[in-house]
Amino acid sequence: MIQENFQFVLILAVVAFIFPFVGVAVAWLLRPKKPNKLKTTTYECGVETVGDTWSQFKAQYYLFALIFVIFDVEAVFLFPWAVAYNQLTLYALVEAFVFVGILFMGLIYAWRVNALEWQ
Amino acid sequence: MTLPQVNFLAILPQIIVTATALLVLIVDAVDRRGAFSRRALSWLSLIGLLAAGAAVVWLVMQGGRQSFQDMAVSDGYSLAFSAIILLAAAMGVLLAKDTVDQFTRMPGAYYALLLLAVVGMMTMASATDLIVVFLSLEILSLALYVLVGFNLREPRSAEGSLKYFLLGAFASGFFLYGAALLYGASGSTNLAQIGQAMGAGGNEIYLYAGTALLVVGFGFKVAMVPFHMWTPDAYQGAPTPVTGFMSVATKTAVFAAFMRVFMQALPATQETWGWALAILAALTMTLGNLAALRQTSLKRMLAYSSIAHAGYALVGLVPGSAAGAVAVLFYMLSYALMNLGAFAVLVALERRGENDILRGDMHGLSDRRPGLAAAMAIFMFALAGIPPFVGFFAKFFIFSAAAEAGWIGLVVIGVINSVISAFYYLSVVVAMYFRSEKEAAPAAPVKARKSKDKAAPAPATPSAPVPQAPALATSQNAIRLAVVLAAIGTVAVGLYPAPWTAYITQAVQSVFGG
Amino acid sequence: MLNYAWLIFVPPLIALLINIFLGRRLGRTISGWLGALAVGLSFVVAVGLYLSLYGLPVEERSVTVVLWDWITIGSFHPQIALLIDPLSVLMALVVTGVGFLIHIYSVQYMKEDDEHHDLDVRRYVRYFVYVNFFIVAMLILVLANNFVMLYMGWEGVGLASFLLISFWFYKPSARDAGKKAFLVNRIGDFGMALAIFLIFVSVGAVAGSLAYKDVFAAVAANPALLAGVAGAITLLLLLAATGKSAQIPLWVWLPDAMEGPTPVSALIHAATMVTAGVYLIVRTSPLFELAGNTLTLVAWIGGLTALMGATIALTKTDLKRILAYSTISQLGYMFLAVGSGAYAAGMFHLTTHALFKACLFLGAGSVMHAMHGELDINKMGGLRHKMRSTYWTFLIAAATLAGFPIVTGGFWSKDAVLIGAAANGEWILYVIGLFTALLTAIYSFKMVFVVFWGKPRDQRLYDQAHESPRLMTWPLWILAILSIVVSYLFLPEFLPKVGGLLAGWLEPAVAHGAEEAHITVGLEIALLVASIIVSLTGTYLAYRFYVQKPESVVSLRERLSFFHKLADNGYYFDAAYDWLRNGLWVIARWLSETFDAGIIDRAVNGIARGTGAVGAWTARLQTGLVGTYALTLFVGLVVVLGYFLLTALLK
């Protein structure tokens, strides 16, 4: 039954929740404690950061990534359609065109509002 | 291999609105700087909404139940909710028609997002499957996140949007988790099948945990205490037409799904969730009303008042009876009329670059704009639940449905709350009718006091009367139309509720029996 | 015709809406006339209703016009419907007829109201919006066929009254007066709401609605339904009536209500709204008949109020205040009549009073304009030479108020009231009523003599005085003539052919006592003669005090005490005045002001402050930090989830 399968998931979840605490707790109990200034810094190695770490990314990156994702997903959806193309009815063909058409409109909009230009 | 035969009739209104949204986007994109699209976009959206409304009416006349793959249906219940959502959307378009250019340079995106939110909401009202509920929840939420942050010149708008988005994503996660648990308990995501499986006795822990998570998920969207924290910030930050639209339409859609899920899939745990919702409803009403008492910003006051109204509506859901569902549906109708009317008045009064109305701004309104003041008085009386306006019967049905099922204590709390609420609604009326404009000047310190509410850092208000900014709306006609329509509805449905309740009763009974 | 009874609401509603939205653009004249003519059209409809009702056989003269089904809640099925019967039509005629004339008067009056310089066009328009709203609400009140609509109308007229009393809200006294009227009326409305609730609980299920007809039929079929609550219901209704009609103990608001514009005093606080209490008792008379003791109480309240009102009126020197106390006193007469079971007499007096008191108030307004807002009668005098129309109409109306024998309507209606009390065997009340009639005659003619006769007491004011324009004098003339002419419709029953018209007209609408007390024609004529003597005596006394010996005000008192030694009753008059002022009046003031302001206000303020503080605390929870929000959400989730899981585990 489904419920029984889920019970394993529940047990696993509980174990997974407890496990890291146990590990950290054991380490905390066993380890020697001799802190110094260097040891208590966040990062013990690497280059010291310069300036504000909260630097801003250009919003354009996100825009491009989003548009890319749209067409990526489009390809994923069209793939099974293309594979089964031979057995499909006219109805399915029209459906696919509607689907592509809607995404196409999105592309037109993105283009017209200058989202495709790197400013 | 053939694809299954699909009944597109069941989602005809959604298709029409989607097509309109795309058309709006394309017209806006093709005609970027044209004078044509500026005017045409709102009309186009309005026509699309009217067409969808016609489709809804046509489907109602067809009668019966159209099912889309058992995922979504079009029945009397969903159509009634859809009609209210379309009404709210039409008001949202009317209110934005002459103001949208003042808060954004992308009117096309505004209308398109509003229409897409409507698609999500209508789908939500007709969903009969948890997956579709979640899907439509996300459709409407994504559109609303953007709409709330649409006013780029207003930092509070972005703030509200971000808060809404972050917390909303959180809540969506809970909802999805709850749906998954219910699937685990019953082996189906279809509401009717979950109901059957649970009636036969399923896994209790998953069922109860899933129910709890769904309460949280839905509760967040209807602004139920303690999941309401986003509401004042988002409502105040959002452009006022958006606030009006989302306060009404989102609630309507989510209550439709809330009731369908809980009454169809989860009657087995009614006793438990009934109590939970009763306590939450009492909290929601009380907190919403008490917090609204102290607000000087009318948008924020209406935001808290909308929390309180969500509480009243929840009272109707508590007994899980058909009578309660009828009451909630009627409540949503009346809330749409009176609340959108109030927001329409706010839009009419708004000035460029302010995005808010303070109570002091209402002083002497009866002298400056007597019609607007009279309409606002009607809306305030209706919201306070004073007969013969529509809000009275809305509350009456809710409370009598709860009382019938034996929730007397809850009803008492509700009645006390509506007395408290009369204080702040009537204070607006007093400001409009018994304060002259001259008295608005000493009210300036009151404006400054608003910053106590830390979420809303007040813009520095000069104490001396400054020359007022021009009105936000370039023309008042569309807004006037919206105000008049809402006022007529508020009065007419209040005076003659019989046909509406008759239809609503029939619609609800066709789904829930009783 | 009767099916179109709803048309009576339409003109004022349309005028009101037009004035709200377009009033400012229409300007004073058009918007004023619009409001006035709308009421005129309503009056035409009311006349039509009267005629078509008159065309029906007597037993069919009670028609319910269903406008629509309001709502259905189980077996409870209230309708929005109008009850057209002789009683409601009579009230509608009074409201629209007198209302129409007062509206016309107002068109001019409000324009000339130079006492208030910043009366700009918006306030002018707003005045007509308010009074039209009042007419609509009052018509709902009198034409309603059920208690719920009655209540809506009741609240509506209260709201209109409040708005109009504090019409000049920049005057603190007007604001206070509005507040006082609102507070005192709230006590009455509380009684009303409670009474309706009691009726609903005890009879509603059986009757199936709150329509008068259904309720009375259910009660008549099974009086046991009201067992134990009949007294409570009627007492609560009486409380409501005393509030609206300014009777003991809730009369204190009416004198202050004179802060409103004078036509408002005429329309709302004399002719129509304040009579709603009388109408309420007549309308619910089948219930009162079941609780006989309450009716006696009504009669006593009426009698005492009449006496006290008259004595106070006698001592006042402010023209509008005299009229206000006179109104209270006359309303007391009406209560006396209905309390004695003489409903027709009560309605008769209500009708004549509406006519002559409206005329008096409008006349006072005319004088007030002429005297630049001065209302102290001791600064007037001799005005009859300057204001002929105002003088003659005021004289006629005052004579009617005084019950000047035979020719005036006031004589016959007051006599009907007194005979009603006598027929009921309440001889003490009869004597009180008769004595009050004497006082009434004195103060009525005192007004006429002091204001219009003699020599000017303030030469400067007198020189500036002038007659009002025709638009204001014509309504005066019509009202004055009507207050004489209409009376002949209401002659007593023993006169052949012309007698008892109103009683017969009202027959189908009012309840009948178990056995109607009748008195012989001989006794009735004797009582009539007594009334004549009293009225003439009063007139003579007024003439003697205020004309024959027009000495200074200081010596007037001496003359009064001197007169007491000669003519017996004069001292009581003065003493009653002092006693009232220092005794009852102080108690009443204490009740209304100390109690209201001190206890109720403090309680209300305390509650408001308390909730405000809690509100501030809840607002502080809203920190604006998204982290806090998320934490709240999460805590909420944990609590909800915990509750559900706990339930699941405990099951």
Total count of residues recorded for chain B:
514
Which residue in A has a C-alpha nearest to residue B27's C-alpha? Answer: A109
* CB spacing of A113 vs B29 below 8 angstroms: yes
First-to-last C-alpha distance (Å) of chain C:
69
Number of Cβ within 10 Å of residue B437's Cβ equals 14
CA distance B305 to B313: 12
Residues of B in CB contact (< 8 Å) with A are 1-3, 22, 25-26, 28-30, 32, 106, 108, 184-185, 187, 202-203, 206
CA distance B342 to B373: 10
- SS3 labels along A97-109: HHHHHHHHHHHHH
Q: Which two tokens stand for residue B292?
A: 């609204």
Say if residue B378's pLDDT is above 70: yes
Buried b (16+ CB within 10 A) or exposed e, B490-499: bbebbbbbbe
Number of domains chain B contains: 1
CA distance A108 to A100: 12
Note down the domain range covering B45. Answer: 8-442+474-512
Nearest by CB to A89, from B3, B22, B26: name it. B3
Which residue, chain included where needed, has tokens 């009740």?
C591
Number of Cβ within 10 Å of residue B44's Cβ equals 21
Among residues C436, C426, C185, the alpha carbon closest in space to that of C305 is found at C436
- Mean pLDDT of chain B, nearest integer: 86
Confidence of residue C577 (pLDDT cuts 50, 70, 90): very low
Most confident option among B59-73, B242-256, C237-251: B242-256
Domain boundary assignment for chain A? 2-40, 59-112
Chains near A with 3+ CB pairs less than 8 A apart are B
C33/chain B closest Cα distance in angstroms: 19
Q: Which residues of B touch A102 (CB under 8 A)?
A: 22
pLDDT at B283: 92
Top-confidence residue, C50 or C57: C50
The tens digit of pLDDT for each residue in B461-490 reads: 444 445 567 777 778 888 999 999 999 999
Share of chain C above pLDDT 90, in %: 4
Whether A94 has its CB under 8 Å from any CB of chain B: the answer is no
Chains near B with 3+ CB pairs less than 8 A apart are A, C
Say if residue B142's pLDDT is above 90: yes
Whether A113 has its CB under 8 Å from any CB of chain B: the answer is yes
Which residue in A has a C-alpha nearest to residue B183's C-alpha? Answer: A2
pLDDT at C627: 76
Average pLDDT over residues C30-59: 86
Number of Cβ within 10 Å of residue B377's Cβ equals 20
CA distance B21 to A106: 11
Angle at which helix B240-260 crosses helix B322-349, to 10 degrees, equals 170
pLDDT at C505: 66
In B19-74, the DSSP E strands lie at 66-68, 72-74
Among residues B38, B57, B46, B43, the alpha carbon closest in space to that of B17 is found at B46
Nearest by CB to C615, from B209, B211, B291: name it. B291
Say if residue C418's pLDDT is above 90: no
Nearest by CB to A2, from B1, B25, B184: name it. B184
CA distance C241 to A82: 85
Total count of residues recorded for chain A:
119
Nearest by CB to B387, from C73, C152, C616: name it. C152
DSSP C9: G
Task: For residue B448, tell me if it sits in a domain.
Answer: no
DSSP C594: I
pLDDT at C580: 47
Say if residue C497's pLDDT is above 80: no
CA distance C161 to C381: 32
The pair phi, psi for residue B460, each rounded to 5°, is -55, 120
Share of chain C above pLDDT 70, in %: 81
Say if residue B308's pLDDT is above 70: yes
Selected residues 12-51 of chain A with any CB under 8 Å from a CB in chain B? none
**Type of residue found at C389:** S
Task: For residue B402, tell me if it sits in a domain.
Answer: yes
From residue C408, how far is each of C347, C413, C420, C530, C561 by CA, in Å?
16, 9, 19, 16, 32
From residue B422, how far is each of B289, B487, C341, C549 by CA, in Å?
9, 19, 42, 60
Confidence of residue B305 (pLDDT cuts 50, 70, 90): very high
* CB spacing of B423 vs C637 below 8 angstroms: no
Total count of residues recorded for chain C:
651
Q: Which two tokens stand for residue C427?
A: 């001889």
> Three-state DSSP class for C346?
helix
First-to-last C-alpha distance (Å) of chain A:
57
CA distance C80 to B494: 12
Top-confidence residue, A102 or A45: A102
Which of B162, B216, B415, B501 is best to mutate for the C interface (most C CBs within 10 A)? Answer: B216
Buried b (16+ CB within 10 A) or exposed e, C484-503: bebbeebbbbeeeeeebbbb
Which residue in B has a C-alpha nearest to residue C174's C-alpha? Answer: B434
pLDDT at C612: 62
Among residues C161, C122, C115, the alpha carbon closest in space to that of C138 is found at C161
Strand partners, C370: none
Confidence of residue C614 (pLDDT cuts 50, 70, 90): low
Which of B166, B167, B206, B229 is best to mutate for the C interface (most C CBs within 10 A)? Answer: B229
Buried b (16+ CB within 10 A) or exposed e, B4-29: eeeeeebbbbbebbbebbbbbbbbbb
Nearest by CB to B26, from A84, A88, A105: name it. A105
From residue A49, how far is each of A42, B8, C553, C590 by CA, in Å?
12, 59, 100, 80
DSSP C376: B
**Type of residue found at C541:** L
Top-confidence residue, B89 or B39: B89
Average pLDDT over residues C6-35: 84
* CB spacing of B26 vs A109 below 8 angstroms: yes
Nearest by CB to C644, from B162, B212, B366: name it. B212
Strand partners, B129: B190
Number of Cβ within 10 Å of residue A16's Cβ equals 9
Q: Is C319 left (phi over 0), alpha (psi -120 to 50) or beta?
A: alpha
* CB spacing of C615 vs B293 below 8 angstroms: yes
Nearest by CB to C72, from B209, B388, B498: name it. B498
Q: Which residues of A touch B11 (CB under 8 A)?
A: none
Give the HSE-up count for residue C25: Cα atoms under 13 Å, Cβ half-sphere: 6
Strand partners, B364: none
Whether A2 has its CB under 8 Å from any CB of chain B: the answer is yes
Say if residue C640's pLDDT is above 70: yes
Give the HSE-up count for residue B345: Cα atoms under 13 Å, Cβ half-sphere: 32
Beta-carbon contacts of residue C410 (< 8 Å; ≥ 6 apart)? C352, C353, C356, C399, C400, C401, C402, C403, C404, C483, C487
B227/chain C closest Cα distance in angstroms: 5
Residue pair B173/C610 in contact (Cβ under 8 Å)? The answer is no
Most confident option among B259-263, B293-297, C269-273, C515-519: B259-263
The tens digit of pLDDT for each residue in C98-116 reads: 999 999 888 888 877 644 5
In B119-218, the DSSP E strands lie at none
Which of B5, B206, B208 is best to mutate for the A interface (most A CBs within 10 A)? Answer: B206
Say if residue B439's pLDDT is above 60: no
Task: For residue B450, tell me if it sits in a domain.
Answer: no
Say if residue B161's pLDDT is above 70: yes
Q: Which residues of B touch C640 (CB under 8 A)?
A: 212, 215-216, 276, 280
Share of chain B above pLDDT 70, in %: 91
The pair phi, psi for residue C84, each rounded to 5°, is -105, 105
The tens digit of pLDDT for each residue in C119-169 reads: 567 778 888 888 999 999 999 999 988 888 888 888 888 888 888 888 877
Exposed / middle / buried, residue A14 (Cβ in 10 Å: 0-12, 13-18, 19+): exposed
Q: Which residues of B touch A7 (CB under 8 A)?
A: none
Which of A100, A109, A116, A117 is best to mutate for the B interface (most B CBs within 10 A)? Answer: A109
Confidence of residue C559 (pLDDT cuts 50, 70, 90): low
The tens digit of pLDDT for each residue in C303-331 reads: 888 888 887 777 777 888 888 888 988 99
CA distance B299 to C416: 61
* CB spacing of A88 vs B3 below 8 angstroms: yes
pLDDT at C482: 86
CA distance C548 to C550: 6
